[in-house]
Amino acid sequence: MNKPVILVVEDDAPIRNLMVTTLKAHDYKYLTAPTGQEAVMMTASHNPDVIFLDLGLPDMDGIDVIERIRSWSNIPIIVISARGEDEDKIAALDAGADDYLTKPFSVEELFARLRVTIRRLSMMNSDSGTDRSIYTNGNLKIDYPAGCAYLNGDELKLTPIEFKLLCLLAKNTGKVLTHTYITQNIWGRSWDNDIASLRVFMVTLRKKLEQSPDPTEYIQTHVGIGYRMIKV
Amino acid sequence: MSLSKDTKEKRSKEKNAESGERILVCLSSSPSNQKVIDAAAGMAEAFHATLTAIYVKPANYDSFSDNDKLRLQDNIRFAEQNGATVITVNGNDVPAQIVEYARTSGATKIIIGRSGAKKRHFWSTTTLTEQIILNAPDADVFIIPDSTVDIKQQSRRLILAQNIRPTWKDSAITLLFLALSTGMGLLFNTFDFSEANIITVFILGVLIIAVITVSPIYCIVSSLVSVLLFNWFFTEPRLSFHTYEPEYVVTFAIMLVSSLITGTLANKLKENARQSAREAFRAKVLFDTNQLLQKAECADDVIRISAQQIKTLLDRDVVIFPLTQEKELGEAVEIAVPQYNDKSSEKDENEAEIAEWVFVNRTEAGTHTGNYKKAKSIYYPICINDYCYGVIAVYLNGKNPETFESSVLTSIIGECALALESLRNAAEKEEAAIAVRNEQLRSNLLRSISHDIRTPLTTISGNAGNLLTHYEQLDTETLKQIFTDIYDDTEWLINLVENLLSISRIENGKMELHLSLEVVNDVIKEALQHIDKNADKHHIIVELNNEVLLARMDARLIAQVVINLINNAIKNTQTGSEIKISSEYVEPYIYVHIEDNGPGIANSMKPHIFDMFYTGSNSISDGRRGVGLGLALCKSIVESHGGSIILVDNYPTGCCFTFFLPVEEVTVHE
């Protein structure tokens, strides 16, 4: 795969410069757009591989940009928001964003997010040809039709809910899923008590996945936001 | 309308500020009443006092002549023109109502016209003036010469009217005792007892009747009938009203007079006993109300307690309309007597409308008042000094409240208004105190951070300037140092901004929380990812409890607490120190400990460690002192979550910060 093309949508010049400089230093190709309108046009005309999208744009709401792009494309979108705007982040994720970055962010953080997204891209591409009924991620293997999950070849003893959760996360590997999204998919509703149950199930599921002496972290917790399965 | 009310309020407040005097003037429909009002207005001006005019509207107001009504309107208008706030209360016991109002509104001077000043008979009741003087010992009473006796006559007539109505029961009692006396007389006659004995028996009968029956009419009637009976049965010729011996005429006259006097005295005695019993009862009710009101903590409680008291007292349904947050009249809250529940359908349909009217006009309305006469309840405003705290409605089903009842009602409502006013004053004082405290906090904060922000900004901008101009001349080593400095300073600023953002959420001393159920360990792990980058120079040990414990919290703020505590340990301990983060669950709290083996905290600093802007002397930190926000913030965050934070010494050296949060039990949905 070629070095991916990244579209940076950010109205603040210093931050745009910072991101561009960082991307240049690591040999990524990049495009920039200072407004939402331009972002949508650039996405349509240049078809970038990943979009970094600032939520506070001057001309239109970041959520609208996501919705417009999502109407025709599945390009991974990483939103950038200021601290203390959890609601915006969750709304963006629910609108179809894949991940988020919080200002102020470090360069390492930016690249960590980018790497996760690119791995996911490559997995999506490679998966398209192979058998979709079997999912593998590191030592984790899920056999969807059989309803079984294996870690290091041993079958995991999961409750039905835990299995459903695992499948949901696996099918969205690399994507941050909000609490609301998960509870909606598992229980069909999102009551306070369901979110509490989700927390408990997640902890038990993670314990089962990370029981080996040298555990690999498959599921990331994003406090106040949701969970994500990582491609290891 | 509202404007004029405002200005009036303002004016009365201004006057209040000048002197604490309150003058109460009594209104009547008498033409000379204007003279009284005039005198009162003059006095109010002289004393810089507030002037309130009160009119006690009797139940038979409608039967007044149009002339009377017109004159009353004139007098009321005259009072208003003279700057008085006019209050109308309903009731028949005029002096009691006036005294009650004076007491609850804190009037210092009462001005009345002289009305029918002298007692005419030794059994007549005291005059209005005398009663007011007697019952209002705290207020100065001023009597202005006034030619008519309007108020008094009315009240006299009314008191009589109320008690005079004969009842079936009393009539039966009267007949029974008259028959008994006659029977006894006949018996005595058979045994040839002297007539004196028979007369005594009749007088005794009248005495008993006077004691037992309510209306004084029975006493008069039975006196007369006794004489007639005596004449009919016991004087020659028997069974006729004639008499042979003229001396019997004297006997009859004396018998009539003595039985009348005995009866009237007994009646009066009984009336006094009843009066004092009522006084005692009323004192008890008011005392109870007072006691209960003192325990009340909020306006809602006060109104509720008063309504309960009224309900107990009158055994009637009470509906209250308390004020809402927006200072408007709220929904009706019913406090019903159980057995009347089925009657609730007979409530006034337009009760909200009437209550609103009462609230706006600060005047009683409903049955037996001048407004909304068709209503089944009577509506009282809970009002004091031009401020209305709500409306209380008492369900009377068209019945007239007894004089005594309505006077106690006025007292309770007055007490209620007083209690509400003192609550409001207390709340206002507290608000002012909080505002002052917030202002202090803000100015302290600004002073403190403007200095602390300037220092790193100077370094950053100076370093960046150096790089821009002298980049080529600088060697790699120096460059690296400059970059590190810039990086450190920005890190420091980021941390400060985080804390400031959290502090900005403290409003009125309380923190605004975005609560959700979170796994405590997840939050701690999240926090560990954001600690100071110097952490790798220390040994950070994490030993978390394995249970899945959920707590309702603002995840970001609790993470901030953990970050602040760990950063605090990193900053204040020597390089290579051990910092241990552990958690344990002791029902119903989860305890999180952050321990270090640094130099510890001196005893003298411990009491201030959680104070805002307190920065202790520390020998380890590399020069830059903190702002003194971190620990203060931790404390207010943890406490607003219903937990607490404490500091203890660690053994052998160092310190241990522990905070705990309440854990929430969760039922899991499978």
Tell me the nearest-neighbour CA distance from A222 into chain B, angstroms: 8
pTM for the structure as a whole: 0.52
- Of the three residues A102, A125, A148, the one that is the final residue of a domain is A125
One domain for residues B263 and B386 = no
Low-confidence winner among B133-147, B220-234, B622-636 (lowest mean pLDDT): B622-636
| Residue B123 within a domain | yes
Mean pLDDT of chain B: 78
Is residue B496 in a domain?
no
B522 contacts in chain A (CB < 8 Å): 199, 203, 221, 223
Q: Tell me the per-residue pLDDT of A10-51, one tens digit each, with 9 for 90 and over.
A: 888 888 888 888 888 888 899 999 999 999 999 999 989 999
Contact A199 B550 (CB under 8 A): yes
Average pLDDT over residues B69-83: 83
Q: Which of A125, A153, A177 marks a domain boundary?
A: A125
One domain for residues B87 and B170: no
Over residues B282-291, the pLDDT tens digits come to 788 788 888 8
B598 — phi, psi (to 5°)? -80, -160
Q: Give residue B3's pLDDT.
A: 40
Q: Across residues B435-463, what is the average pLDDT?
A: 77
In one-letter notation, the amino acid at residue A137 is N
B521: closest chain A residue by CA: A203
**Yes or no, beta carbons of B559 and A223 under 8 Å apart:** yes
Q: What is the residue-wise DSSP string for B342-396?
A: GGGGGS-TTHHHHHHHHHHHTS-EETTSSSSTT-SEEEEEEEETTEEEEEEEEE-
CB B76 within 8 A of CB B86: yes
pLDDT score recorded for residue B657? 92
Cβ count near B585 (within 10 Å): 15
pLDDT at A66: 92
Measure CB to CB from residue A193 to each of B518, B525, B667 and give the nearest one.
Answer: B667
Instruction: Check whether residue A89 and residue A139 sit in a common domain.
Output: no
* CB-based contact A103:A113 (threshold 8 Å): no
Closest CA to B577 of B593, B598, B562: B598
Query: Which of A85, A80, A125 minimizes the C-alpha distance to A103?
Result: A80
Report the Cα–Cα distance between both ends of chain A, in Å, rounded.
19
So what's the pLDDT on residue B669? 64
User: Are B641 and A175 within 8 A, CB to CB?
Assistant: no
B492 phi/psi in degrees, rounded to 5: -60, -45
A12 with A101, same domain: the answer is yes
| CATH number for position A194 | 1.10.10.10
Mean per-residue pLDDT for B24-42? 84
On whether residue B396 sits in a domain, the answer given is yes
- Nearest CA distance, A194 vs chain B (angstrom): 7
Q: Which residues contact A121 (CB under 8 A, 6 or more apart)?
A: A4, A49, A50, A76
Q: What is the C-alpha to C-alpha distance for residues A43 and B501, in angstroms, rounded to an integer?
A: 35
Q: What are phi and psi of B614, to 5 degrees?
A: -90, 120
**B-chain residues near A195 (CB < 8 A):** 516-517
Structure tokens at B391: 């409306």
To the nearest whole angstrom, how far is the Cα of A21 from the nearest Cα of chain B? 16
Inform me whether the pLDDT recorded for B5 exceeds 50.
no
Type of residue at B288: D
Which one, of B100, B98, B201, lies nearest residue B155 by Cα?
B98
Mean pLDDT for A91-120 is 85
Q: How many CB atoms lie within 10 A of CB B413?
A: 26
CA-to-CA dists, residue B546 to A166, B340, B562, angstroms: 21, 59, 18
- ipTM for the assembly: 0.76
User: In this prediction, what percent of chain A has a pLDDT beyond 70?
Assistant: 93
Q: Is the dihedral of CA A26, A28, A32, A36 positive or negative?
A: negative
Domain assignment present for residue B94? The answer is yes
Distances in whole angstroms, Cα of residue B377 to Cα of each of A148, B246, B329, B365, B645: 73, 62, 18, 9, 55
Pairing of strands A5-9, B516-519: unpaired
Nearest residue of chain A to residue B523 (CA atoms): A223
- Helix, strand, coil percentages, rounded to 5, for chain A: 45, 20, 35
> Out of B494, B514, B550, whose CB is closest to A196?
B550
- CATH code, B7: 3.40.50.620
Shared domain check, B622 and B530: yes
- Which range of residues forms the domain containing residue B371? 297-455
- What are the chain B neighbours of A159 within 8 Å (beta carbons)? 670
The residue that leads in pLDDT, B5 or B581, is B581
Q: Give the pLDDT confidence score for residue B335 in this predicted structure.
A: 67
d(CA B135, CA B133): 6
Does residue B288 fall inside a structural domain?
no
Q: CB–CB of B670 and A221 under 8 A?
A: no
For helices A62-70 and A36-46, give the axis angle rounded to 10 degrees.
Answer: 20
d(CA B178, CA B176): 5
Q: Residue B199: which H helix or E strand, with range?
A: helix B195-212
Please state the φ and ψ torsions of residue B588, each to the nearest 5 degrees: -100, 25
Closest C-alpha among B359, B424, B411 to residue B105:
B411
Domain encompassing residue A78: 5-125
* Chain B: closest CA distance from residue A47 (Å): 35
Domain count within chain B:
4
Edge-to-edge strand list for the sheet holding A177-178 = A177-178, A226-229, A219-222
Give mean pLDDT, residues B272-276.
80
